[in-house]
Each structure stands twice: as structure tokens, then as C-alpha cells.
Chain A
């Protein structure tokens, strides 16, 4: 690239920066007592544009000096080792996750954030069945999360069912809604499917807002029963005839108990989800999902019923969303349609895509990054979403197909010793 071309390129980048910085950085609203006034900071805009111009020019100059050659793409090599590696990583992760509340640095904030990460890990694993394995782009996944949350809240409040009784019911309701969504979209793929699922997610949210008699409308549902530890409540002064957790174990009352219990609860739920999804991937049903993603026509020619295969993917993905929703409701004690907006669906989908479609380990990495990044940059106040966006762009430049791109085969020929007698 010649120097004038570089200057032009850098100028273009600066122009984009100007267009972005002018409204974002240049204008600030200030409270002037009675009315909202505007404060102009064009000096800052100039600095931002200057940095982008200089940075782009430096990057181009440096890039020009780099040795050129075809970029190496690693396709194989880790195949054998990666399996044991993944296993060790999984064990290390579980041990760390189990020990987390006991570690010296962990306090209420750490455990709460970790709980948040695990909710997204669970949702990511659930959505991975639909998007990663079956290849059905679902932009309305939050609908099942909402169905699970409202199922738990309504069943627990109106019928006095316990968390463990509600959990399978919430999963079943979510699965039912998954099938309900699945039927009309059986013939759709790609963009069209994405639009319909997006609409479905909004429909559920709007239903929750407007069905005031059942759902409480925009006000949501309050005082949802909190979970108990095998009948022991996490309260300072339990109701008559009940025993509280701290009384039973002879501990001093601490709000931390409930938070730690909730953390372990979601850890167990998430691990069960991960285990179930990974097992299913290796079963005929999981292979059929992946085959459906690869080639539907070929599936039909092999006698695979596309309808039931797709519906099972929707139903199972949805039921995990429903479980996670129940947990969310019991943790918060309050739910409203506000919690189930499109941005939630987008976040969960981003976790799946960022992790690498279909990868279980990738979901854990991506959920951690997506939850922790905004927390780490909390000090940057309203610039943190900008940093967050920048981080997402960088990740996608660095790893365009997600963190983990290696797909582990569901079965290997070398795992089965040849049996000469069995050949037909």
C-alpha cells in the first residue's frame, strides 16, 4: 500500500470515528436545575478522531513491514490430545466452581456474579442444542426462559408447590412452547426462521405484559417463594413450626447462606444440563440434529423424520431454558416482562456464537467473558458498553468462528476394536 493510499484509508477511519464520536462524546446532557441542558465537548472529539487517525496510520505502516505469506490454518493435530485436554479442563473447571464460595477472595459480589455466569452457561448450553447442533437460528430463546420463570412463579404462588416440584413442570411447559414454536417453522431455515423466532419471543413478552389478571402485567409478580434447603428456610425468624437453616446447623444467621445455596443450586442445574446435552450429542438423536444442520435432504433420504428431529431439538433446548427460568424466578423473588427482552435472546445467542457453534466448552468461556467484561469495566460508567463492543469486535477479528472451533467427533473408529466375527 502506498503512502497516499494509507493516508486516505486513515482519513476514512477518522471520518467514521468523527461520525461516532460527535454524538457519543461531543454532546453531553447536564442538569441545570430546572431543565436538561447540553454541554459540548468538541475538544474531546478532536482527540478521539486524532487517536483513530494516528492509530490507523501506524497500524498500516507496521502491517506493511510484516512478512507476507499464506496464513497458516491449523485443521488437525490436536485431535488426539484435545480430548484429554478438554477432560482435564472440565474437571478443573468443576473443582474450581465447587470451591469458589469457600475461596478467600470470594464475597457476596463474587458469588452473585458467578451465579450470573452459570445462568448464562446453562442458557447457552440449552440454546446450543437448537442453534449449534441442529443449526436452527433462534432469536427468541428468551421466551422459554420467561415461560419457565412465570411457570415457577405462578405454580409456587398459587398452588404452593415447592421448587423441586415446579422444576420439571416448568421444563415441560417450556418444552411445550418449544414445540408450539417448532410446528409453524418446520419448513423455514436461516433468515426466515430467525425472523419468526424473533417474533415469537416478542409475542410471549407482550402476552406477559397484557395478560394482567394472570401475570400482573408490567408490574410483574412479587414475593415469589424462595427456595429452601430440604425444608429448611433461609430466614432469620422462620414461621411457626418451621426450622431455619441456620438454626438447624447451629450457625449464626447470615444472608450469605442463601446466596451460596443458590450458587450451588445453579451449579448443579448447569452441570446436569451440560452432561445431558453432551450425552445426547453422542446418541442417535444428537447425531441426527447435527446431520440436519449439515444436510436436510440427505437426512430424509436416509429415513430420518425431519419433523420429529427438529421438534425434539426445539423442545429439549426450550426445556433447559425453562429450568433456568425457574431458577431465575426463585433467585430474584420478583419477575416482570422487563427481564425477558430481546437483548437477553441476543446475549444468549452471542454466547453460543462467540463460543463456537456447537461447542460446550466454548459456551463456558463465552458466558464468562460476556458477563465479566461489563463487570470489569464497571468503573468506566457509561463508556463500558463501548469497551464491551470493542472487545466483541476484537474477539471476532481474532477468532471469526468462535473460541472453540474444533468439533469432537461423537464416535471414533479407533475406540472400537474390530471384531471379525461380527461382520456380516
Chain B
């Protein structure tokens, strides 16, 4: 592995007097699963929002290395990060298009390609054959991801009426339909039962193996974090307090203190 896929350098995000992310630096490798953990309010989601263009960082650099090109995410406009740098994300509270079907959700993820194929609507409106082919290919890609998520039968169901676990999986499928080089998952296991979390692990391992995209993961569920992560970054109060393999991090005294509290010296 020569260059890291994503390198975060001295990232700082301030909201008025509050510093949510304070001088954080770490790397995420190509084809690796990097977990970001930390207690509530540690700045994990803020970090994600900076990465995916929802916030503009106060200072620091975010470099994404893809296809021999360096994208400077901290300078890019929101939707361009997904479109050009190919960073996809899911949300802590699921953000599907609830009134549309699962299949439509997956097609919207392929919007920019389809838009071009439809000649920016001018050709598509007259049923141009090139657009029909592109649409069929897009549906085929959606079908592939539905099958991967074990929900091929539910493609025509409204996304909002799917069971909770299926909604989580559909959101990941939707992110994957944008063909990302970096997939950012914000607590994908939240609200899942142990069996569903185990399935999620398999899905994430499969995505890494077969699609070679890097995964950045915020998670509280330690069975997910410890089971599949290649690297773990630990944040507390906006600062990075530890980084390493899951085994290293779980032994780190700083991490234990952050999660379990200070041991009383003269107990």
C-alpha cells in the first residue's frame, strides 16, 4: 500500500466557542475498514460531516487519493464530493426517500450517470434508445445490490415501509450504487439485533473484498468494530486519543479510561 486512500491532516472544526473536532490526523487505507469510535459527543459525526461536505472545516486538510488524482475535500462543494471524489455516506438516523420504492432509491443514487444518458432530459423524453439501455443497466446494478442485501423481493416496496434492518441495508446499497472509492457509514449497526449485526459484518467484508473500496465506520457496537476493522481511531472530546489495530486499541489505557472512567488510585 503506497499512498493512503484518505489522509486527514490537523482537521479542526469549531462552532463558535465549541471545538467539536480538534486537530485530528489519521489515514484510511485503500481496501481497508477503518473504524472511528469514541463516547457520545466525541466529534465522530462532525468529522463525517466535514468529510462529506456538509460542513466546511475551520482548518486542516482532507486529501483523497483516487485514480492517481488528489481531491482536496475540504475545498469541494457538497454534492461534488459524492460526484467527483466518489465519497458516499449513510446517516446515523436513516435518510432514505421513504415515499419511493427501494428500486427508485437505488436509481436516484445513479442520477448523474442516468442524467447524462438521458441527454439531460432532452433525449430521454422522446424515449431515446441509448437512455433505455442505460436505465436497464442501472436497474440491473440495483438488482445486484438488492440481491446482495438479501432483499431482491422487496425492490418494488416503499422504502419507508421496509423493516428497520432492511432500511439500514438499503441505505448502504444506495451508497454503493454511486460506486464510491470511500464509503462512510455512520453507525450502521445502531438498532440492529445481534444476528443482523453479524449479517452486516458479512456485507461490509464483502464490499471490501469484491469492490475494493475503503470503508470508514463510526460504530458503538464493539462486535462490529472488533470483528472487522483493520484499524481503529479513537476520539474523545474532539481529540484523537489512540489509533491502532483493534487489539492494540482495546488494551490502550487512554481508551479504557475514556470508556470506563478514571480508576480511583487508592481504591
Contacts and interface: CB of A to CB of B under 8 A. Distances in A.
Interface of A: 75, 276, 279-280, 283-285, 287-288, 290-291, 294-295, 297-306, 407, 409-414, 416, 418-419, 422-424
A300 B79 contact: yes
A297 B94 CA distance: 11
Instruction: Name the 3 nearest CB pairs between A and B, nearest first.
Output: A303-B82, A303-B83, A413-B155
Contact of B98 (A279, A294, A304): A294
Interface stretch (B22-30, B58-66, B111-119, B218-226): B111-119
A285 B91 contact: no
Interface string B71-115: 000000011111100001101000111111101100111011011
Interface residues of B, number: 50
Given A287-B111, A300-B78, A302-B111, A280 B97 contact: no
28 contacts: A276-B125, A279-B124, A284-B115, A284-B118, A284-B124, A285-B121, A287-B104, A287-B108, A288-B115, A290-B99, A290-B100, A291-B100, A294-B97, A294-B100, A300-B82, A301-B88, A302-B175, A302-B178, A303-B83, A303-B112, A304-B108, A304-B111, A305-B83, A407-B99, A411-B135, A412-B103, A413-B155, A416-B143
Contacts of B146: 413
B97 A303 contact: no
Interface of B: 52-54, 78-83, 88-89, 91, 95-101, 103-104, 107-109, 111-112, 114-115, 118, 120-121, 124-125, 131, 135-137, 139-144, 146, 155-156, 161, 174-175, 178
A409 B140 contact: no
Contact of A423 (B97, B100, B121, B140): B140
Contacts of B99: 290, 294, 407
Contacts of B131: 283
Contacts of B120: 285
A128 to B, nearest CB: 15
A287 B107 contact: yes
Given A297-B95, A300-B79, A422 B137 contact: yes
Given A298-B97, A416-B139, 6 more contacts: A294-B98, A294-B99, A305-B79, A409-B104, A422-B137, A423-B140
Q: Interface centre among B98, B111, B120, by most A CB within 10 Å? A: B111
